[in-house]
Structure formats: structure tokens, C-alpha cells
Amino acid sequence: MKMTDSIIIALISLIGSMFSAIVGASATMYASGKKGNTNCAVVVLVAALTGIIGLVLGALFGTFLVGMNEFVPPPSGATNVPTPLPTSANPTPTDLQQPPSQQRQVITTETFTVLANSPWQDTAILVQPGDFLKIDYISGQWTGESGAGVYHGPDAGTNPNVFDCMPIPGEGPSLIGTIGSGAPFKVGLQYLGEATGTGNLYLRINDCDEWLTDNDGNIVVKVQVSR
């Protein structure tokens, strides 16, 4: 109960008590004028009961007034729609896939199929310095030697036989990429990195050009560029 509510009830109870006291005093004065003690005692008893009833009625009436005061009807046209909670300023899980300094807007999302028996293949996706590049493996298998019949995904691991004719010597027939005429880099199952050069994104299998004829299969990837 609020402090103001207690004060209201106390005031109304006090008024009731004062009223009862006045009634009792009047009754006592009236009884004192009588000669009979019996009539005086009866009147005093009635005055006391009247005081108690005044206290109870005053408290009940005060409580009723407090309840009416606390009830405030809603304004016309108001609806019981809860107030929305404030939105958290924390970054979403999608934003956290990129480093904090690279939380940019996605400008390009493309799906591209990379053939195992072709050299560098142009995705027609232009990349500029500072762009954040994300390449994800979606599906497919290929092989760098169809006669062996061993197919695998875009990450073939390292190759103990180092051949200088390969774009990345020492790497197996994995998925690799390059931007423009820049240095090649391994893509594998996923690549995340910031571009340092300008040019289209090219993809291929890491194999010597003269050995591409016996390759087979393809890999499907999704390329996303954020700026």
C-alpha cells in the first residue's frame, strides 16, 4: 500500500472516531442529567459501540476510496499491446563470421561450377582491394587422374611429389583461386580472406595444364563478396 493510501485511510478513520466521540459525549451529558444510573450505563455502552462502528466504517470507506483512486481506465482507443523491449546492439551471428573490422555489406553472392579438366576459369566476379572474399564448397567431386577412379572433394591435402608445373607446388589436386594475375591461393572446403588486388576471381583444380586431359568431375561453390 502506498504512503498516500495509508494517510487517506487514517484520516477517514480519525473522522469516524471523532464523530463517535461527539456522539458518546452528547449521550453521556444527556445521561448525567438523568437520575437513574441504569439509563446512564446503557447510554455509555451505546456510545462505545457507536465509536467502534465508526472506526470500522471509516476504514472500509477509506479503503474503497483508495481502490477507486488507483483504478485509472485506459484512454479511448488504447490496446493491450506490450511495450517492445530495446533491441540488443550486439552483432548477429552472421556478422561474426567476419572479423570485427570487416563487418560490411554483401554486394555479390554467386554460385559457380569449377571443372576439373579446365585451366583457370573466370567467375566474372570483380574483386577490389579491401573486399572480404568468402568461398564455400557446396557439392561435387573430382579427380586429377580419372584412370585411377579415385574421386574426392575440393581439399586433397598435400602432395609429397612436388611438381613445379602446378600452380601451387606441393599441394594436391585441390580447389584453388586467384584474383586477376595475382598469386594463387588454396580454397579447399572454405576460403575467408581480404583481397589485396583488383581483378576477376578465377578458380581451378591444382594440376599441371598438360595433365588436365585425364581429369574428371566438377566442384560447385558459392562465392560471396562483402565491401
One domain, residues 221 and 123: yes
One domain, residues 190 and 141: yes
Looking at residue 158, which CATH number applies to its domain?
Answer: 2.60.120.430
According to DSSP, residue 98 is labeled S
Could you tell me if residue 89 is inside a domain?
Answer: no
Nearest to 123, CA basis, from 131, 113, 133, 132: 113
Could you tell me if residue 32 is inside a domain?
Answer: yes
211 and 149 in contact (C-beta within 8 Å)? no
Instruction: Take residue 57 and report the three cell numbers written for it.
Output: 466504517
Other CB atoms closer than 10 Å to residue 89's CB: what's the count?
Answer: 5
Interior angle at CA 78, CA 74 and CA 81, nearest 5? 110
According to DSSP, residue 155 is labeled -
In whole angstroms, what separates CA 213 from the centre of its chain?
A: 52
Residue-level pLDDT at 161: 83
Full pLDDT tens readout for the chain, 227 residues: 554 555 565 566 666 656 655 655 555 555 555 544 555 555 556 556 666 676 666 666 556 655 655 544 545 554 444 444 444 333 333 333 455 555 789 999 999 999 999 999 999 999 999 999 999 999 999 999 988 889 999 999 998 888 999 999 999 999 999 999 999 999 999 999 999 999 999 999 999 999 999 999 999 999 999 99
One domain, residues 112 and 183: yes
Could you tell me if residue 51 is inside a domain?
Answer: yes
Q: What is the total count of domains within the chain?
A: 2
Other CB atoms closer than 10 Å to residue 48's CB: what's the count?
Answer: 13
One domain, residues 134 and 211: yes
Q: How far, in Å, are 27, 49, 58, 112 from residue 54 at the CA level?
A: 16, 9, 6, 91
Residue that finishes a domain, picked among 69, 93, 120: 69
Could you tell me if residue 93 is inside a domain?
Answer: no
One domain, residues 194 and 107: yes
Could you tell me if residue 114 is inside a domain?
Answer: yes
Q: Containing domain of residue 38, as a range?
A: 3-69
One domain, residues 131 and 193: yes
Could you tell me if residue 85 is inside a domain?
Answer: no
Other CB atoms closer than 10 Å to residue 186's CB: what's the count?
Answer: 16
One domain, residues 108 and 203: yes
In whole angstroms, what separates CA 54 from the centre of its chain?
A: 59
Nearest to 143, CA basis, from 217, 211, 203: 217
